[in-house]
Structures are given as structure tokens and as C-alpha cells.
Amino acid sequence: MKPHVIRQGEYVTQLATRFGFDADDVWNRVENAELRQCRPDPNVLAPGDILRIPERPETENRISKGGTHSYRARIPRVAIRIVLEACLQSVSGARYEVRIPGASPVSGTTGGDGVIRFEVPTTVSEVELHLLDSDTVHPVRIGHLDPHDATSGVSGRLSNMGYLPPRLTELFGHHPAPEWTRVESEEERVQQGLGAFAEARNLNPAEGADRIVAELRRGHGV
């Protein structure tokens, strides 16, 4: 087994496709026990995590010189679940179209739970969610959500749920910001977002940030 340093957007199922190993088998190897302790979901990893993978593909195809060989690859797919909410209520009856590179669009209408479900090949890193009634397009990045105990992971979940304040550059572009504004660090944006989430969910800030982040993770679904 050799070490593989996780990069942004990588997850075990995707790496299994790229390097030719069984995702469940490798994830449950004793060599990855330490990683499993801090990352309970093999498909939510952080950049810099170390995953032990086989030195070479578990199966190798034999070829002969001068011969003609045919191969067929089966690309695994991962299930994606998106929930549409407005004012803490599920959005039902929303028409949507998911545009997946190299595949036919997935269209439908949300039910009472506001859920959109579809599958994508592990080779796809981003899709577009087109909400037809509002004529808006939302990019959805696959495998880019960091673990919940990282600031970037909290930020990503707050952003997905609509609680993360915009950056000043998103408000004013490259123009000088007004005097009443100040440069905000990512940590400040996250704290403001957690405060907005706690207020919306009637959580007591006195219970601490860990309690709020746990509720954020539960509300986000992962």
C-alpha cells in the first residue's frame, strides 16, 4: 500500500475508479484505520488527508504483441441529493433540469420534500442545476465539500444553505468598498453565518459553537 495525499475534490469512490481498486475494500483496510477514525464518510475528505491505496491495479489485463484487444470500462456512479428550501420550508413543485457533462439532462419536479435526486459518473466533478421557474443556474461541485470539523467545511455547508454572508468583493466587485465596510476574514464570515443559522433554527448561542455546527451538519445532511 502506498500513501496518496488527498487533493481538493477527491473522494474514495472517485479514486477507486482512477486507480483501479475496490473502494470498500481499500477504505476498510487496517492501513486506513486512522483516517476512518477522523473521517467517517469516505466520500467527504479534506485536502492533505492520507489515504493508503494499492501499489498497482488489483487486476491487470494481459495483452499480446500484434494482437487486437477490446475492452469495456464500467464507470461507477455516485448518488446526489439536493434539497430546495425557502424560509425553512421545502420547495415543492419546482421544475428543474440537471445538466451533466457527457450525458443527457435529468429533468423533473420536486415533491413535497423538495428533494432532487440524480446520479453522476465518478469522472464528473461539476454539474449545473437549472431551476426553470426562476430561470437560474447553480453550479454543483461533486466531492468538493470538506469535512464538517474544518472551517472550509463549515463555510461550504453555510453557503449551500444560504447562511454565509457574501464577500465584500462579491458586493462591490473591484471597486473600493465604502468606508463603513471593513475587510472580513473567512473566520468572521463563518461566525456571522453560524449566528444567522442559530437564530433561524432557534438555537441558543450559549450552548457553544460545537452544538451549532452539529446542528448545521444534521440540517445539511452530511
The set of cell numbers assigned to 203 is 438555537
Other beta carbons less than 10 A from residue 220's beta carbon:
18
Q: So what's the pLDDT on residue 71?
A: 73
Per the structure block, which three cell numbers stand in for 7? 487533493
Alpha-carbon distance of 9 to 143, in angstroms, equals 5
- What phi, psi does 184 have (nearest 5°)? -110, 135
Question: Is the separation of the CB atoms in 191 and 184 below 8 Å?
Answer: no
How is residue 96 annotated by DSSP?
E
What the chain holds in terms of domains, given with CATH numbers, is: 2-53 (3.10.350.10), 77-141 (2.60.40), 151-220 (no CATH)
Distances (CA, A) of 56 to 18, 99, 199: 11, 34, 51
pTM for this one?
A: 0.80
Q: What is the pLDDT of residue 183?
A: 47
Measured from the Cβ of residue 22, the count of other Cβ atoms closer than 10 Å reads 12
- Residue 164 to residue 150: CA distance in whole angstroms: 15
CA–CA gap between residue 157 and residue 220 (Å, rounded): 6
C-alpha–C-alpha distance, residues 199 and 156, integer Å: 19
Residue 83: how many CB atoms within 10 A of its CB?
16
How far is Cα 139 from Cα 9, in angstroms, rounded to an integer?
14
134-145 b/e (C-beta count within 10 Å ≥ 16 → b): eeeeeebebbeb
Rounding to the nearest 10 degrees, give the CA dihedral for residues 20, 4, 79, 128: -110
pLDDT by residue, tens only, the chain of 222 residues: 999 999 999 999 999 999 989 999 999 999 999 999 999 999 999 999 999 999 876 566 667 777 787 777 788 899 999 999 988 889 999 999 999 999 999 999 999 999 999 999 999 999 999 999 999 999 999 999 999 999 999 999 999 999 998 875 555 455 555 544 454 678 888 999 999 999 999 999 888 889 999 999 999 988
Whole-number Å distance between alpha carbons of 219 and 213: 10
